[in-house]
Chains A and B, each alone.
Chain A
Amino acid sequence: MRTIFFILQKEFLQIFRNKSMLPIIFVVPVVQLLVLAFATNYEIRDLSIDIVDHDGGNWSQQLKGKLLSSGYFRLHAQTTDDQAFDDLASNKADLILTIPQHFERDLVRNSEAGVQLLVNAINGSKAGLAAGYAQSIIGDFNRRIRLEWMAMDEDDAPSHFDMSFRYWFNPGLNYKWFMVPGILVVLVTLIGAFLSGMNIVKEKEAGTIEQLNVTPIRKHQFIIGKLLPFWIIALFELAFGLTVGKLVFDLPFAGNLGWIFLFAAVYLMVMLGLGLLISTFTETQQQSMFVTWFFLIICILMSGLFTPVESMPEWAQRITQFNPVAYFVKVMRMVMLKGSGWADIKMYLGIMVLFAVAVNAVAIWNYRKTV
């Protein structure tokens, strides 16, 4: 125990003497939360639309008005076919609505008329949303026409049912409540995996590890002494990040924060183990950083933080079952938004314990005291 105490004391001295460390601990989380939380915005508003109106009648005016007053679309230009195509090609317009000639006449005479919607689909999900918004607005418009023309009286109206819905767990659809818990996961992950691995490799670079290897320090003492400081710092970071989240974004803490910290404690053992593992087969801090980055970028992008896991192909979903980041993102959101408790997270915690045991077993086996 005394040996571990001396190693810890030395580690903390070195960590806090490192000039970049305090900024990493206090500035990085604030910047990440403030910038990323606003940047990772799933809502799409202000799509710029070109409208080509060949009809110019009363109904087409109404349709345009309805589209533009929805808040989702901003008129870029009311123009000709050619100009509209140019705008689409040069990214000035996101979509084109073409109202054909005789729109009103066809509507009245044939009870049927078409409009055309062209959407710039370079960004597929944005295009999907744009088409979706436009369709629902036009559909709504369509229903109203039918009501007005075919049945002047509500009672004679063709039977239809109304849908009423509520958004549960995040009634205001506040995407920041959704993103911030996930971003906190990334933060904790970075501290856990990067700093721990680099710290161990630093001893190799400096040559001091050889000195330590001829001292009576045992394997487990060295590993605990090296990893524990970052475990503590990362948990502190989580607390700090949650505080910032609460103050700035008014994050809902629906569930018990204890579960989050319990889960984080185990999750960090996985990440610290990963750092340790990487440090066993890299010789310089640069190498270690690069290898860690390679793994983390995959883990983070496949974690469901930015894109839902459910929309990934089957094989990718299977991979995420082995992605610790995915579990933590999920548990964070469950506990913070839904108020999930022990019964809901125990399975994920169990999986995380398995990960922790597996990663650390490989890392320790790979870490040989006799270099």
Chain B
Amino acid sequence: MTQPAIITNVLTKRFGDFIATNAITFEVAQGEIFGFLGANGAGKTTAMRMLCGLLKPSSGEARVAGFDIYTQTEKIKQRIGYMSQKFSLYEDLTVKENIRFYAGIYGLSNQQIREKTAGLLAKLRMEDEADKLVSALPLGWKQKLSFSIAVIHEPSIVFLDEPTGGVDPITRRQFWDLIYESASKGVTIFVTTHYMDEAEYCNRISIMVDGKIRALDTPAALKQQFGAATMNDVFLQLARAKS
């Protein structure tokens, strides 16, 4: 339990002349909720894709769940969950079929799939929707379902890429209850967001500007450091400093 869930060391990604992620270095402890903030195009998604094994870094090192992101991506994939801003469930499958598919490809046994499905539906209070097509669900429900499926194989780290885009604050709050519940079981949460109220929910946050990490601390410490009342002010100060 002592080794960090994620370690990066001057991790860099270049696309031609453009440096999307510029020598970022940070550590995320196990069970931590780590907020990864930045304006659009700041390099958040690139960094996340490298950590998930979707993109080969140009230079630097990183280990996720103890595995090297250059050579052990298949092992990493077994240990992480991922939920992207692009909706990742199959709209033409029912709730149950989606659960079954993802549980199946992560290698859960039939017995486990049955138990997990029942437990998940009960927790989300979606028993009545089990046989409905996902396309018929409201966005907030889809997101909660999507998250629950992303952690169905009990990964040690979950990557969430703007998971709550487009829903109201109450639904967002409910979503964060799910995140807290997972974190309390020791799951590390790595989340990007544009909502500053969500940033406040994180244990620690980093703020990226132009491919570099400009700030990294607890929300309280950051507010103090920048002499700001809210995370929103902290973010604006950093983003403005750039231009």
Contacts and interface: CB of A to CB of B under 8 A. Distances in A.
The answer on A and B forming one complex is yes
B164 to A, nearest CB: 16
Nearest to A5: B104
B46 to A, nearest CB: 13
Given A207-B84, A216-B74, A14 B90 contact: yes
Contacts of A13: 93, 97
Contact of A216 (B84, B101, B106): B106
Interface string A192-236: 000000000000001110111111111000000000000000000
B55 A215 contact: no
Contacts of A2: 104, 107
A163 interface: no
Contact of A207 (B74, B82, B88): B88
Given A211-B82, A213-B54, A216-B74, A7 B93 contact: no
B67 interface: no
A160 interface: no
A6 B104 contact: yes
A152 interface: no
A217 B153 CA distance: 14
Name the residue among A10, A14, A218 with the largest chain B CB count within 10 angstroms. A10
A3 B107 contact: yes
A64 to B, nearest CB: 68
Interface residues of B, number: 28
Interface in B42-75: 52-56, 74
A209 to B, nearest CB: 9
A213 B55 CA distance: 11
B26 interface: no
A9 to B, nearest CB: 7
B87 A207 contact: yes
Contacts of A10: 90, 93, 97, 101
Q: Which size class do A's interface residues fall under?
A: 20 to 34
A93 B82 CA distance: 72
Contacts of A3: 104-105, 107
Contact of B105 (A17, A207, A216, A370): A216
B86 A370 contact: no
Contacts of B55: 370
A212 to B, nearest CB: 8
Interface string B201-237: 0000000000000000000000000000000000000
Contacts of A164: none
A217 to B, nearest CB: 6
B80 interface: yes
Interface of A: 2-3, 5-7, 9-10, 13-14, 17-18, 206-208, 210-218, 370-371
For the complex of A and B, the 8 pairs showing the least CB-CB separation, nearest first, are A207-B86, A6-B104, A211-B88, A214-B82, A216-B77, A10-B101, A214-B52, A216-B78
30 contacts: A2-B107, A3-B107, A5-B104, A6-B105, A7-B101, A10-B93, A13-B93, A14-B92, A17-B93, A18-B92, A206-B87, A206-B91, A208-B88, A208-B90, A210-B54, A210-B88, A211-B82, A213-B54, A214-B54, A214-B77, A215-B77, A215-B102, A215-B105, A215-B106, A216-B74, A216-B105, A216-B106, A370-B54, A370-B55, A370-B56
